[in-house]
Amino acid sequence: MDVLARSIADTGLPHPLLVDAARSAIANGDPESARREAEALQRAMLQRVINATGTLLHTNLGRAPNGVHQDAGFRNLELDLSTGERGSRQAHAPTLLARLCGAESAMVVNNCASAVMLILAALAENRGVAVSRGELVEIGGGFRVPDVMEQSGAHLVEVGTTNRTRAADYRKRIDDPESDIALVMQIHQSNFTIQGFTEMPTIQSLANFDVPLVADIGSGLLDAACPWLPSGPPSWLADEPAAKQTLANGASLVAFSGDKLLGGPQAGIIAGDKALVDACGRHPLARALRPGGLVLGALQELALEYMNRNWEAIPFWRMAMASNGSLQARAEAIVNAGGVGAIIETMAVPGGGTLPTVEIPSVGIAIEGDHRKALRTAPVPIMARVAEDTTILDLRSVDTEDDLAITNALQRVGAP
């Protein structure tokens, strides 16, 4: 077994994993399959892939690509350098994020579901939270708003109907002495839409109650004006709620994701009224849900890029704002060098539970037949999509640095 394991050492795996591959091959009665077993172990590991699906925030591929790297070394994660005393990990990136969305204060936890759970636990334990029936959503992985609320210790108070809810519906439940409402919560329908005979109250109409208003805006758009973009907000962002405007319109707190439209690492951001943010920070769950220095460091660098209006340094916005002319030129170069495929117009989507009805014009490369397996097993795996027995590689979700890898993969696909 040791000899067999050493014979596949060129795969680069540590020796214990080579032994596992050799053992599995011998157990299957096929020692010659040891290399395939080793390659299968490698494929199962977390690794970089090329996203040619046209889904910019692909949940299975980690949502927003994040290019921040940190050198090894200590950092003042919980140290106040001005006093030499213990500080707070919420004093760095969260302060910048609060500034960007016009909030008094902000804090960061490990994802948006955690942000919602912490808010509910800290501000509404053993009390009611009013939510429209049309907003009782289920997010990826089967997590449902009512379940998150139950785990937080708050209890759900449903208002309105699935398709029509008015501010008066909230007022009725708040005024009911048996309701004991602690919060009004508005949850963005980020992964579905209800069309037809519908009505939902505005943030302004819900901000006048004598209980805090919490808005889970989900997708993480900082500012509807997109001041970091020289051309202003793209048309496909119309009607998407943004943190700055939601707070300005009267919400007490907003909660949103770090790895969607914000374009950063997985995180959940809570921003708004300082007293409420501080209450969340004092709750015991805050320690269990806090992020580490890598996430906070990445968010700090991201926030600084937003402040510098350096949108091209943010991979999500660089992909989303690429002109179709530049995508066309890249597609022509790849097809000419690869010797296979046809250039087509296609439609990309934001993805990640964001803007479910939005499509963004794009350019792709079409190859007759289903070649997903061949692309997926390329040296750098390439994820594509198939429609009508045609493989499509959408270049809007592909970084320009990966064009050569796609070219080489197409050459192999076209080889006899």
Q: How many residues does the chain have?
A: 416
pLDDT at 366: 97
Q: How many angstroms separate the Cα of 288 from the Cα of each of 126, 216, 291? A: 20, 21, 9
What does the pLDDT read at residue 139? 63
Three-state SS at 70: coil
Amino acid at 405: A
- The radius of gyration of the chain's CA atoms, rounded to the nearest angstrom, is 25
CA 394/CA 55 separation, integer angstroms: 9
Q: Report which residue type is found at 322.
A: A
Asked if residue 86 lies in contact with residue 119, where contact means CB atoms within 8 angstroms, the answer is no
The closest alpha carbon to 351, from 139, 59, 143, belongs to 59
DSSP helix/strand/coil, 313: helix
How far apart, in whole angstroms, are the C-alpha atoms of residue 322 and residue 397? 10
Give the integer Cα–Cα distance in Å for 414 and 416. Answer: 6
- pLDDT in the model for residue 68: 72
Residue 164: the pLDDT is: 86
Q: Exposed, middle or buried by CB within 10 Å (0-12, 13-18, 19+), for 308?
A: exposed
16: which residues sit within 8 A by CB, 6+ positions away? none
Q: What is the DSSP letter of 81?
A: T
DSSP states along 110-179: SSHHHHHHHHHHHHHTTSEEEEEGGG--EEGGGEEHHHHHHHHT-EEEEES-SSB--HHHHHHHHH-TTT
Burial class (CB in 10 A: 0-12, 13-18, 19+), 108: buried
Question: In the structure encoding, which two tokens stand for residue 412, read together?
Answer: 């192999």
- Which pair of tokens denotes residue 230? 């020289």
Instruction: Please state, in angstroms and rounded to a whole number, the distance separating the CA atoms of residues 119 and 253.
Output: 9
Q: What is the pLDDT of residue 253?
A: 98
- Output the pLDDT for position 197: 67
Beta bridge partners of 60: none
Query: Looking at residue 36, what is its pLDDT?
Result: 94
Q: Quote the pTM value.
A: 0.92
For the chain, 416 residues long, give each residue's pLDDT as a single digit of tens.
889 999 999 999 999 999 999 999 999 999 999 999 999 999 999 999 999 999 999 999 999 998 777 888 999 999 999 999 999 999 999 999 999 999 999 999 999 989 999 999 999 999 999 999 887 776 655 567 777 777 888 888 888 887 888 888 889 888 888 889 999 999 886 655 666 667 788 899 999 899 999 999 988 899 999 999 999 999 999 889 999 999 999 999 999 999 999 999 999 999 999 999 999 999 999 999 999 999 999 999 999 999 999 999 999 999 999 999 999 999 999 999 999 999 999 999 998 877 878 999 999 999 999 999 999 999 999 999 999 999 999 999 999 999 999 999 999 987 66
Give the tokens for residue 270.
Answer: 């809570």
* CA dihedral over 153, 156, 157, 159, signed as positive or negative: positive
> The dihedral of CA 232, 218, 191, 140: what is its sign?
positive
Residue 190 sits at φ, ψ, to 5 deg, of -70, -25
Q: What is the pLDDT of residue 142?
A: 58
Residues near 13 by beta carbon (within 8 Å), at least 6 away in sequence: 21, 38, 41, 42
